[in-house]
Amino acid sequence: MNATALMLSVLFGAIGMAYLAYGKKQGALTPALAGIGLCAFPWFISNTWGMILVGAALTAVPWLI
């Protein structure tokens, strides 16, 4: 894992924690699940571009649904 992937995983993890807290507070399932996904996916994807694409998609899910 390089420094870029590490920083991206920290960034998406922080966004995921915010989505999870928001979803739990509002009782909304979509942001909560997107938050869990954002916290968990860096464990499985180590490619920098793959991490950017999946992270951007999961970040956009609560806005699109």
pLDDT per residue of the chain (65 residues) written in tens, 0 to 9: 789 999 999 999 999 999 999 999 999 999 999 999 999 999 999 899 999 999 999 999 999 98
pTM: 0.91
- Residue identified by tokens 């390089």 is 2
Q: Which domain holds residue 8?
A: 3-64
Answer for the pair 47, 9: CB distance below 8 angstroms, yes or no. no
Angle at 14 between CA 12 and CA 33, to 5 degrees: 75
Angle at 29 between CA 64 and CA 31, to 5 degrees: 50
